[in-house]
Amino acid sequence: MLFNQVVQPSRLDSAVRLAAIFVPALLTGLSLNPSVLSILSIAVLALTIIIRVPVSDFFKIAVPVLLFCAVTLLMHLLFSQSADSARIAVGPLSLNQGALFTGLLYCWRIVLFFVVAICFVRWIGQEEFAELVWRTLAPLGRLGLPAQGIGMAITIAIRFIPQILSEHRRIEMAQRARGAQVGKSSFRNVRRFIPMLIPTMASALRRIDTTANALTVRAWGVYPTRTFHRRREFGLRDAAMLVTIMLLVITVWVLSR
């Protein structure tokens, strides 16, 4: 899903959008206060409405969310017992109230993390994320670190992963057309994967060689700075979103005291 994304158009600056996604995620990981989680849930819900996340995306993550929540709740009920906490009778079981409450809070946090991940996929494009990484690493060049090289490596990795996946699917379809069968045995599937791995790696190496030649032709590394395809414009909407983020941080800080 991360590399086959359909990004929703937005007039907000990409850095502001990234802040609007990562700040709630960071605040979610810092507190288990029910009031804080309620405020963050409202913020994340508003974010999904702004991004216009399709309902089908939530059904896609339903199974892993339920699995993570079930394992988390079970671990708390088994290993997070509190002696001074009351017990609740659920049928033939006797559950520790404190462990159950803490496990439910952790499950709440997991759901928020998954929803924020959907927002990230739907709102931040691959090229925008690569550009943000590049701009973030640019000041490190003053310290003598190869910021441009690191930024270029991350950019190429982000853009090449979907191409490699597409090439792998094309090779798999070609082998299916030639009579390759997918067996139920896991050992047979491993044996089938090895013949697909070699042409996929060969295709990736050809792409690397082509990219290296293209960078050489464009005089990569000659100039200390680089330009970007899009011009960043900070407008009134961006300022309003940043103010909203600051109010969210202040609210969470006050509730956490």
Query: In this model, does residue 218 exceed pLDDT 80?
Result: no
Is pTM beyond 0.75? Reply is no
Residue 1 has what pLDDT? Answer: 46
**Of the ranges 159-168, 183-192, 226-235, which is most confident?**
159-168
Question: Among the listed ranges 41-55, 197-211, 218-232, which one has the minimum average pLDDT value?
Answer: 218-232
Task: Please give the pLDDT value at position 40.
Answer: 92
Reported as a pLDDT band with limits 50, 70 and 90, residue 109 is: very high
CA–chain centroid gap for 41, Å, is 18
Of the two residues 65 and 11, the one the predictor is more confident about is 65
pLDDT band at 39 (very low <50, low <70, confident <90, very high): very high
If you average pLDDT over every residue of the chain, what do you get? 78
Query: What is the per-residue pLDDT across 226-239, written as a single tens digit (0 to 9) for each?
Result: 666 666 677 888 88
- CB-based burial label for 123 (10 Å; 0-12, 13-18, 19+): buried
> How confident is the model over 114-124, as a mean pLDDT?
87
pLDDT attached to residue 38: 92
Domain ranges of the chain: 14-124+234-256, 132-217
* Percent over 90 (pLDDT), the chain: 15
Residue 41: pLDDT above 60? Answer: yes
Could you read off the pLDDT of 53-88 as tens digits, one per residue?
A: 888 888 888 888 999 999 988 888 777 766 555 566
